[in-house]
């Protein structure tokens, strides 16, 4: 094969969009200014010239005390927002002392079963002065209520509490698997949370509609956009069906995207998603408030791109991915630790990940202008093409009956699985090059220190949960749990009765079990 043949080989993005050797100007309508509909160039006129993105490093492991210590270290080193990782039992609505939880307590996040756990997690942190993101879905409303109760105990003005719960249950069925209840009652929990927060926590972002996990499961960039926005449309419609006004809840919707490694495609992806959501909200849902039209999003660098081989290479991957999110206009950002393909990040790895953001913000110059790639022939073309392909996929989802029906039928799961399989085939055929994996491998790799979970901390957490239950006023707690069951079978806002149950001392697992009694658990077909 000659050099000329190599130069003319087909090249394409992860979504299969062919990349031309050279791009030239095309006739297209000029883009509106940043901060103007449809927000292709950014949701705010000044973007990072006025305010940098929130540097929100994700952390959570073992006990509430250890996670609290990591939060304080990161805040001291310049982190500007908290982001909580919960362990698998908490995500599945199981208390730490549940026999089903035994092997997983505290391993991939912090264990939270009781109000006392939430008190220790946030000890010494002014909750009304920092925004907190909680990556929690099926029991998201319960963790939010715990956070609210603890803030109230400390005298905070809860109407000013800021942060986000992920609360995106549809992508759990499609891509991640930490669901508890069937889709329809789970959607009710989401809309009840919208209503509750509109009345009680007006500054809280009630959902973070997540494409991140869709991408981690193997989707393309186009699928990430399409499935995420289709899920967003389902949540908006469910809220409208529940009697809410679109402009009453839509300004508090937020999104969560993945920053993957195809740099130019990622920049274009964020621009396309913003433009699409603005049009969807105006044209489909007749939203009038400009904030209802704005796709505001958090970004995390791609965990699935990290390699156990030559882990220091992950610093470079994460930097490029973080830069694409910034160039695409993210509102907050988490950068992964280089060691996360091997273990939870060490303090040193987490600090370096934060420093990566700080260097981009303060040394690179990319924050000095809004939408740096505007007018780039290739980025503008990719933005248009991602939008076109994503809209076609959304139309297919609509033909399936919408996002909920598409998940129930397995359509979304099948599409993601097919893309993941195609990617793996290309990797095995060496059509894709991953440095250190199938390209430039080293026989003798440098070892890096790893974080180790303290088993004694986990045993203490389990014993604390048992002691908390032993000290409960059983009659009062059981009465509160029966009220939760009654509400689950009716139409009362569940957050109101679940909050009352938490105040009596009921645990996360006890309340989730009360809901299981009425709704059952979801079992995929």
Question: Where are any strands of DSSP class E within 278-430?
Answer: 297-301, 332-334
Structural domains of the chain sorted by starting position, each given as residue range(s) with its CATH number in brackets: 33-428 (3.20.20.240)
Percentage, residues of the chain above pLDDT 90: 85
CB 203 within 8 A of CB 254: no
With tokens 């630790």, the residue in question is: 337
pLDDT band at 284 (very low <50, low <70, confident <90, very high): very high
With tokens 């000890």, the residue in question is: 123
Question: Where are any strands of DSSP class E within 60-170?
Answer: 81-85, 132-135, 163-165
- For 511, the 3-state DSSP assignment is helix
As a whole number of angstroms, the distance between CA 297 and CA 210 comes to 9
CB 340 within 8 A of CB 306: yes
pLDDT band at 8 (very low <50, low <70, confident <90, very high): low
Give the mean pLDDT of 430-450: 85
Token code pair at residue 14: 């992860």
As a whole number of angstroms, the distance between CA 171 and CA 219 comes to 12
Give yes or no for residue 5 having a pLDDT over 60.
no
> According to the model, what pLDDT value does residue 59 have?
81
Helix axes 411-428, 377-399, angle to 10 degrees: 140
As a whole number of angstroms, the distance between CA 134 and CA 122 comes to 12
Give yes or no for residue 289 having a pLDDT over 50.
yes
Closest CA relative to residue 60, chosen from 449, 356, 457: 457
CB 80 within 8 A of CB 56: yes
> Cα dihedral angle (338, 168, 88, 91), rounded to 10 degrees?
140
> According to the model, what pLDDT value does residue 508 have?
98
Closest CA relative to residue 125, chosen from 101, 147, 142, 97: 147
CB 90 within 8 A of CB 178: no
CB 232 within 8 A of CB 347: no
Question: Which helix (H) or strand (E) element contains residue 470?
Answer: helix 455-470
Give yes or no for residue 137 having a pLDDT over 80.
yes
Closest CA relative to residue 229, chosen from 214, 245, 248: 214
Of the CA atoms within 13 Å of residue 468, those in its CB half-sphere come to: 24
Report for 11-20, 80-89, 431-440, 495-504: range of highest mean pLDDT: 495-504
As a whole number of angstroms, the distance between CA 5 and CA 417 comes to 33
Give the mean pLDDT of 181-208: 95
Of the CA atoms within 13 Å of residue 405, those in its CB half-sphere come to: 8
Give yes or no for residue 4 having a pLDDT over 70.
no
With tokens 């994700």, the residue in question is: 58
Give yes or no for residue 85 having a pLDDT over 80.
yes
Percentage, residues of the chain above pLDDT 70: 98
> According to the model, what pLDDT value does residue 47 have?
96
User: CA–CA distance from 308 to each of 10, 59, 75 (Å)?
Assistant: 30, 20, 28
Q: What is the CA radius of gyration of the chain?
A: 23
Cα 215 versus chain centre, distance: 11
Question: Which helix (H) or strand (E) element contains residue 208?
Answer: strand 207-210
CB 231 within 8 A of CB 170: yes
Give the mean pLDDT of 363-383: 94
Closest CA relative to residue 423, chosen from 213, 211, 220: 220
Question: Could you read off the pLDDT of 447-504 as tens digits, one per residue?
Answer: 888 777 777 888 999 999 999 999 999 999 999 999 999 999 999 999 999 999 999 9
Give the mean pLDDT of 165-187: 95
Give the mean pLDDT of 315-329: 98
Question: Could you read off the pLDDT of 338-368 as tens digits, one per residue?
Answer: 999 998 899 999 999 999 999 999 999 999 9
Rounded-to-5 percentages of helix, strand, coil across the chain = 55, 10, 40
Q: Is the pTM of this model over 0.85?
A: yes
As a whole number of angstroms, the distance between CA 462 and CA 450 comes to 25
Give yes or no for residue 445 having a pLDDT over 80.
no
3-state secondary structure 364-376: CCHHHCCCCCCCC
Give yes or no for residue 3 having a pLDDT over 60.
no
Question: Which helix (H) or strand (E) element contains residue 253?
Answer: strand 253-259
CB 201 within 8 A of CB 159: yes
Give yes or no for residue 80 having a pLDDT over 90.
no
As a whole number of angstroms, the distance between CA 285 and CA 292 comes to 10
Give yes or no for residue 6 having a pLDDT over 90.
no
As a whole number of angstroms, the distance between CA 136 and CA 201 comes to 18
Mean pLDDT of the chain: 93
> According to the model, what pLDDT value does residue 454 have?
77
């Amino acid at each position: 094969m000659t050099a000329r043949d190599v130069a003319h080989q087909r090249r394409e993005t992860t979504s299969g969009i062919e990349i031309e050797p050279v791009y030239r100007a095309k006739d297209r309508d000029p883009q509106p200014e940043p901060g103007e509909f449809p927000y292709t160039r950014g949701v705010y006129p000044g973007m990072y010239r006025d305010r940098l993105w929130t540097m929100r490093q994700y952390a959570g492991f073992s006990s509430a005390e250890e996670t609290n210590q990591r939060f304080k270290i990161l805040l001291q080193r310049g982190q500007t927002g908290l982001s909580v990782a919960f362990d698998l039992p908490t995500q599945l609505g199981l208390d730490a002392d549940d026999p089903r939880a035994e092997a997983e307590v505290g391993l991939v996040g912090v264990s939270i079963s009781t109000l006392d756990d939430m008190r220790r997690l946030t000890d010494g942190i002014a909750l009304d002065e920092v925004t907190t993101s909680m990556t929690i879905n099926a029991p998201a409303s319960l963790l939010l209520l715990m956070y609210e109760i603890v803030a109230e105990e400390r005298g905070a003005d809860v109407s000013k509490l800021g942060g986000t719960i992920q609360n995106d249950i549809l992508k759990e069925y499609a891509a991640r698997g930490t669901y508890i209840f069937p889709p329809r009652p789970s959607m009710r929990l989401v809309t009840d949370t919208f209503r509750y927060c509109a009345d009680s926590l007006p500054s809280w972002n009630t959902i973070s509609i997540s494409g991140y996990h869709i991408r981690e499961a193997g989707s393309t960039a186009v699928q990430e956009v399409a499935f995420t926005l289709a899920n967003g449309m389902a949540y908006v419609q469910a809220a409208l069906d529940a009697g809410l006004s679109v402009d009453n809840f839509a300004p508090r919707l937020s999104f969560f995207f993945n920053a993957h490694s195809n740099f130019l495609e990622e920049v274009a992806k964020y621009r396309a998603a913003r433009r699409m959501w603005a049009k969807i909200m105006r044209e489909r849902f007749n939203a009038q408030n400009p904030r209802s039209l704005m796709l505001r999003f958090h970004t995390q660098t791609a965990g699935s791109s990290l390699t156990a081989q030559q882990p220091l290479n992950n610093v470079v991957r994460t930097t490029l991915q973080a830069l694409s999110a910034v160039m695409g206009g993210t509102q907050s950002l988490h950068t992964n630790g280089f060691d996360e393909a091997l273990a939870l990040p060490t303090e040193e790895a987490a600090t370096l990940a934060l420093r990566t953001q700080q260097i981009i913000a303060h040394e690179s110059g990319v924050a000095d202008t809004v939408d740096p790639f505007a007018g780039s022939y290739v980025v503008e073309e990719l933005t248009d093409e991602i939008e076109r392909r994503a809209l076609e996929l959304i139309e297919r989802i609509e033909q399936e009956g919408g996002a909920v029906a598409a998940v129930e039928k397995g359509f979304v799961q099948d599409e993601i699985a097919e893309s993941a399989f195609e990617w793996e085939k290309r990797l095995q055929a060496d059509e894709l090059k991953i440095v250190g994996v199938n390209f430039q491998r080293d026989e003798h790799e440098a070892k890096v220190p790893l974080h180790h979970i303290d088993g004694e901390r986990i045993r203490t957490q389990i014993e604390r949960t048992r002691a908390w239950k032993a000290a409960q006023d059983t009659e009062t707690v059981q009465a509160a749990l029966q009220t939760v069951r009654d509400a689950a079978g009716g139409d009362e806002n569940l957050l109101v009765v679940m909050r009352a149950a938490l105040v009596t001392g009921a645990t996360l697992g006890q309340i989730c079990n009360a809901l299981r009694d009425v709704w059952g658990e979801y079992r995929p077909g």
